[in-house]
């Protein structure tokens, strides 16, 4: 069987890194796109997985810059792109009613444009292989959880984008969204908050998350692996929540 080629946009830390390592362990050829390089990580993965890992440095919010690496990826994949995971996001920003334009533009660019560009650049290639696209959104894009309004709106738009694409590509490409809840990573936002005020954070988990804990990047990566496999071949146009039950209300 031929090895599948997977592109991960934002695959060098947190959830993205867990997805990268999962795919490598599954014997896929992985093409990792990131804005900032991590030479230590690159060297470790190249040493461990030899010719199965490629790294590309660009800003996914810049369509022209992003487009330039497409040919390099096609060369390294023999023209076959089977899986795309768009995993760029940033939930920073003020929590007030009226965010300034700079915050709105930044949030929209990072959280929506990066996803839109991932689809725009590679959609014809992945139609050729009848592959799979998965966007990483957030539960903040499903209901108001107190996140910056700009972030919630952008992540909600990613879900809408995914559903719209899935209708138009039909049986040619499966397109889904994953909406994680509170995922903890070393030195990430929740890790820093936990270090600063563990009592407050533990209280939040007890009161708002039925499973009473943070999620792990590996748990999200395992869901992505499932959605990218033939085991999920009847799933498309879905937004799958992985949040420990935090958003388990039934909306009628």
Taking the model in full, what pTM does it have?
0.94
Residue % of the chain over a pLDDT of 90: 85
Q: How confident is the model at residue 216 (pLDDT cuts 50, 70, 90)?
A: very high
User: Is the predicted pLDDT of residue 191 greater than 80, yes or no?
Assistant: yes
What value does the mean pLDDT take over residues 232-242? 97
Tens-digit pLDDT profile for residues 155-172: 999 999 999 999 999 999
Q: How confident is the model at residue 99 (pLDDT cuts 50, 70, 90)?
A: confident
- Residue 182: its pLDDT value, please? 94
> Which residues in 184-203 are b (16+ Cβ under 10 Å) and which e?
bbeebebeeebeeeeeebee
- Residue 95: its pLDDT value, please? 80
Q: What is the 3-state secondary structure (H, E, C) of the chain?
A: CCCCEEEEECCCCHHHHHHHHHHHHCCCEEEEEECCCCHHHHHHHHHHHHHHEEEEECCCCCHHHHHHCHHHHHHHCCCCCCEEEECCCCCCCCCCCCCCHHHHHHHHHHHHHHHHHHHHHHHHHHHHHCCEEEEECCHHHCCCCCCCHHHHHHHHHHHHHHHHHHHHHHHHCEEEEEEECCECCCCCHHHHHHHHCHHHHHHHHHHHCCCCCCECHHHHHHHHHHHCCHHHCCCCCCEEEECCCCCCCCCC
- Residue 250: its pLDDT value, please? 47
Quote the mean pLDDT of the chain. Answer: 93
Residue % of the chain over a pLDDT of 70: 98
What value does the mean pLDDT take over residues 98-116? 93
What value does the mean pLDDT take over residues 83-88? 97
Q: How confident is the model at residue 1 (pLDDT cuts 50, 70, 90)?
A: low
What value does the mean pLDDT take over residues 59-77? 94
């Amino acid at each position: 069987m031929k090895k599948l080629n997977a592109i991960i946009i934002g695959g060098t830390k947190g959830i993205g890194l867990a997805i990268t390592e999962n795919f490598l362990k599954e014997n896929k050829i992985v093409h990792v796109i990131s804005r900032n390089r991590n030479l230590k990580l690159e060297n470790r993965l190249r040493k461990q997985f030899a010719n199965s890992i490629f790294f590309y440095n660009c800003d996914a919010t810049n369509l022209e810059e992003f487009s330039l690496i497409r040919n390099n990826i096609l060369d390294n994949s023999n023209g076959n792109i089977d899986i795309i995971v768009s995993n760029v996001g940033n939930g920073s920003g003020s929590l007030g009613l009226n965010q300034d334009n700079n915050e709105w533009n930044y949030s929209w660019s990072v959280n929506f444009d990066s996803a839109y560009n991932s689809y725009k650049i590679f959609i014809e290639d992945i139609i050729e292989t009848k592959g799979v696209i998965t966007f990483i959104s957030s539960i903040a894009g499903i209901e108001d959880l107190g996140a910056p309004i700009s972030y919630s709106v952008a992540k909600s738009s990613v879900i809408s984008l995914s559903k719209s694409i899935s209708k138009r590509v039909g049986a040619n490409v499966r397109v889904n969204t994953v909406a994680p809840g509170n995922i903890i990573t070393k030195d990430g936002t929740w890790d820093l908050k936990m270090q600063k005020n563990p009592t407050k954070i533990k209280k939040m988990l007890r009161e708002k998350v039925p499973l009473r804990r943070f999620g792990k990047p590996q748990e999200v990566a395992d869901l992505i692996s499932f959605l990218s496999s033939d085991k999920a071949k009847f799933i498309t146009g879905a937004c799958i929540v992985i949040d420990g039950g935090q958003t388990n209300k039934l909306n009628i």
